[in-house]
Every structure is written in structure tokens, then in C-alpha cells.
Amino acid sequence: MAQFTPLSAAIGGALIGLSAVLLMLLTGRIAGISGIFSGLLNLRSQDKGWRIAFIAGLILAPVIAGAIGYGMAPPKLPANWSVLAAAGLLVGFGTRLGGGCTSGHGICGIGRLSPRSIAATIVFMVTAVITVAITHHVLGG
């Protein structure tokens, strides 16, 4: 547990929950990032404004943090672009087939006590843990 950071995790988590509640209370929308983003890809959809605004805020957050001296380090990712592409495809297809991701199911869905979202969250946590166990400990990656 060398890297356990409970205080920053609790503060950050509370902000994520606050964002989800405010988005519903103010605009009536679910703060599921995969759902918000995929709605931008649908050319026929008429409700792109709030989606663009939310994602713009998401991307602006590290820019503003950087401007006040809390810059974000570029994420550490696998050098192999085929792994990144495969992971991206799985995340994109899987979140649409399953109707949500960590935010839509894990925060908003469980936040509404939806059995469907609780089931989805358990399933993606289990397959993610198995994937990490295989890549880190079986394949030694």
C-alpha cells in the first residue's frame, strides 16, 4: 500500500460526485463520460451543446491547474501503439454495448442504486483486475 493517498482520493471523489449531482440537478443529464462523448459522434443528435461544454470543462481543468502551478504530468502509457489502439477500441465498443463506464455506471448508476449499474461495475472491475493480473504477473509486462 505504498502509494495509498486517502485524503486526496476523498476530496477528488467528493468533487466527482458533486459534479454528477450538479449536472443532473441543473441540466437533467447523467454525467457518464462515455455517453456524453458518444453523443458527439452521432451526427443526427441535436443536443451537442452541453456535451461539448462538459468535455471542454474536463479538458480545461488541467490547463487551469497548470496555469496556477499544479500542472498535470503526461500519463504513463504503453509505448506500443497497437496495445493503446486495442484498449481504446475495447473501451469504446464495450462502454456503448454495456451502456456506460466508470462514471455512468460506477458513480451515477450506483448513485441511483441501480442494480443494472451495480452489476456492470462488478463485471468491469473483475475483468480489469484479471487483465492486470495477466499482463503484470503472468506475462510479466
Partner 1 sequence: MWIIAPLSCGLIFGAGLLISGMVQPTKVLGFLDIFGAWDPSLAVVMAAALAVAVPGFRLAGLRTGPLLARDYFWPTRTGIDAPLVIGAALFGIGWGLVGLCPGPALESLATLSPGVIVFVVAMAAGMALHSVWQKSRPAMRRDNPLASATDG
Please report whether residue 48 would count as binding partner 1 according to CB under 8 A.
Answer: no
Within positions 8 to 37, which residues make up the interface with partner 1, using CB under 8 A? 8-35, 37
Please report whether residue 67 would count as binding partner 1 according to CB under 8 A.
Answer: no
Within positions 84 to 113, which residues make up the interface with partner 1, using CB under 8 A? 84-113
H-only helix segments in the chain: 6-27, 33-41, 48-67, 81-98, 110-111, 115-133
Please report whether residue 125 would count as binding partner 1 according to CB under 8 A.
Answer: yes
Compute how many residues bind partner 1; rule: CB under 8 A: 119
Q: Which of 48, 55, 68, 69 binds partner 1 (CB under 8 A)?
A: 55
CA–CA distances in Å: residue 57 to residues 11, 21, 74, 126, 128: 19, 16, 18, 31, 28
99: closest CA among 129, 75, 120?
120
Please report whether residue 60 would count as binding partner 1 according to CB under 8 A.
Answer: yes
- End-to-end Cα, the chain, rounded Å: 20
Q: Which of 69, 81, 139, 140 binds partner 1 (CB under 8 A)?
A: 81
Q: Which of 67, 73, 139, 140 binds partner 1 (CB under 8 A)?
A: 73
Q: Are 118 and 110 in contact (CB under 8 A)?
A: yes
Please report whether residue 6 would count as binding partner 1 according to CB under 8 A.
Answer: yes
